[in-house]
Amino acid sequence: MAINLKKGSQFNLTKENTSLDKIMVGLGWDMHLIKTIDLDASVFMVGPDGKLPADEFFIFFNNLKSPDGSVEHTGDNRTGKGDGDDEMILANLSSISEEVTELIFVVSIHNAEILHQHFGMLENAYIRIVDIDTQREILKYKLESKNFKGVTDMEFGRLVKRGNEWTFHASGNGTKIGLQGYVDQYA
């Protein structure tokens, strides 16, 4: 049974499951006040200084794979329609570059200001982690979208490496800085 996290909580993925290596990070949401919305999931692979070791460690719809081959975005879902995960990130934890100590999972609304869209128009937004080898859902963090009116971008969570262990931190931090604002922050 999966662990359900609350905002600000954390869970060590590898402490009790030392063989965990290949994971799928699924991000999902449902439309509430709108028929279609284009959300884009991104991953910032940062080092101890909180910065990308190189631009190629920013994984998004125009750069689907990290230079070390350890993290891969499966593609952009432009409508959010359908059940289950809307966008997925695959990661091979043991192959992640030594330069990287955190994976930061961000979702932004494409053209949010132009279209007057925000996270308050969504419901059932979540991030979950699945062990690819066993197909077991390890954890899930459901965001409370009622608190996100006006928010155009969201840090859903972080995977943080300490030694040989990976811990997931449930963030749920909304902003209005746009995807470029995150790029500026981590570049």
> What value does the mean pLDDT take over residues 33-40?
76
CATH number given to 3-186: 2.60.60.30
Q: Is 8 left (phi over 0), alpha (psi -120 to 50) or beta?
A: left
- What pTM was computed for the model? 0.93
| pLDDT over 70 (residue 24) | yes
pLDDT in tens, 89-142: 999 999 999 999 999 999 999 888 888 888 888 888 899 999 999 999 999 999
Tell whether the model's pLDDT for residue 76 goes beyond 70.
Answer: no
- Place 150 in a pLDDT band, splitting at 50, 70 and 90: confident
